[in-house]
Amino acid sequence: MNVKQWLSDVKQKARKIKFPKPRKTNVEVKPRKISQRAANRLLLGFVVGIVALSALTIVSNAIRSLRTKPTIQQVQEKNPRVYSNQVSLFMADFLNLYFSENSAENQAALKKFYAAGLDVKSDETTNADSRLTNATLVEVTDSLATYRVEYAVKVGEDWQDNVGLLSIPYGVKAGRFYVSDLPYFANEASYVAKGVKSGLRLKENQDDKKEFEKPKQYVEAFFKAYTSGDKTQMAPFSKKVQPVQGYLLKSLDYVYFIQDDKDETRLVAVVQVTMADAFELAHQENFVVTLKADKENDSYRVQNLEHGIAEKYRKQIK
């Protein structure tokens, strides 16, 4: 049998072989049940993941912005009050040496306050002893401090008092002060304002009104207790007002009563009194006393005591 005949027989036999057809089977897919606890855990994990991712994004952006943001240096402004106090302390030391005993030691110490190279050509400043008795700061600027100085100069065996307005030029270096030029005296101007009206003119006393006789007697008795310094005497009038010590009532010079429009039991007394200290030195003071009628005892009680006369009462007594 040749090869061709053999291959032909094999092909014919192969055609006669029948293979079984595959069977179709229906597979039922059943969904897997998940418990409520597991579902909650999955949801919580998802939320935590989202929050963590958001936080990471925010932190990353913040770090990136910090790296690129320019540095801003804030310069602190000097405190005017602190600066003025520092100048005053420096000037106090300077003035106590400027007016001092005539000695080489004091003169050497004084030169340390001056700027280097500030020459004093005359020796006339070192021919007398002096001493500072008082110094009042009048004005301080960024380069000049002005004082009203009271000082005494030794003339022979006696001390002669004098007063002057002394201006001291100064400078600042590294937070420290120095006298930048020679101090100089100037005329002292008056600080009293002129042509100003106080707006306070007291009306005449209401002596002709009998309705105010009783409250006036009460006010006078109150001020006697007020100047007694004794809380026991003050108690019948007011538990709120504290008595003043060291002064006595000399006279009740003026009383003007204002009836409260909204409260008929409330009466305001504008008062001026003369007081004297233990050495009989007299002075005058203005007060506003608010009275509250005590109908049960047919008297009054002091609700409030104010020093001076407020603007709202000034308008009513013009």
- Of the candidates 81, 82, 111, 80, the one whose C-alpha atom is nearest the C-alpha of residue 94 is 111
User: E strands within the chain?
Assistant: 130-140, 144-155, 158-173, 176-179, 184-186, 248-259, 266-276, 282-294, 299-307
- Of the candidates 285, 289, 266, 268, the one whose C-alpha atom is nearest the C-alpha of residue 276 is 285
Q: What is the pLDDT of residues 40-68, one digit of tens each?
A: 676 667 666 776 677 677 766 666 655 54
SS3 string, 259-294, reads ECCCCCCEEEEEEEEEEECCCCCEEEEEEEEEEEEE
Q: What is the pLDDT of residues 79-106, one digit of tens each?
A: 666 677 899 999 999 999 999 988 889 8
CA within 13 Å, CB half, 287: 24
SS3 301: strand
Domains, the chain, ranges and CATH?
A: 80-118+126-186 (3.10.450.540), 210-314 (3.10.450.540)
SS3 241: coil
From first to last of its 318 residues, the chain has per-residue pLDDT tens of: 566 676 677 667 666 666 556 565 555 555 566 566 666 676 667 666 776 677 677 766 666 655 544 333 333 445 666 677 899 999 999 999 999 988 889 888 988 999 887 766 565 555 688 999 999 999 999 899 999 999 999 888 899 999 999 999 999 999 899 999 989 888 887 777 777 676 566 666 555 567 788 999 999 999 999 999 999 999 999 989 999 999 999 999 999 999 888 888 999 999 999 999 888 888 999 999 999 998 888 899 999 999 988 888 887 776
Tokens of 13: 């036999």
Can you tell me the distance from the alpha carbon of 202 to that of 254, in angstroms, rounded to the nearest whole number?
8
